[in-house]
Amino acid sequence: MKILTTPNKALLEKAEPIIRFDNKLKKIITEMSATLDATVDPIGVGLAAPQVAIPKRFFLTKPNEKGQTFVFINPVIESAASTKRIPSFKNSPKVEAGKPAKSKGKLLEGCLSIPNIWGNVSRKNQIRIQFCDIDGKRHTETFIGFPAIIIQHELDHLNGILFTKHVIEQKELLYRSHKNAQGEDEFEEIEV
Question: How far is Cα 153 from Cα 59, in angstroms, rounded to an integer?
Answer: 10
Q: Are 61 and 151 in contact (CB under 8 A)?
A: yes
Q: Which of 13, 16, 31, 154 is catalytic?
A: 154
Could you tell me which residues come within 8 angstroms of residue 38 by beta carbon, excluding any fewer than 6 positions away? none
Provide the residue type at 150 as one letter: I
Torsion of CA 84, 85, 89, 92, to 10 degrees: 10
Question: How far is Cα 75 from Cα 49, in angstroms, rounded to an integer?
Answer: 13
Question: How far is Cα 187 from Cα 96, in angstroms, rounded to an integer?
Answer: 10
At residue 59, the 3 state secondary structure works out as strand
User: At 33, which helix (H) or strand (E)?
Assistant: helix 23-37
Q: Is residue 154 annotated as part of the catalytic site, yes or no?
A: yes
Catalytic (active-site) positions: 154
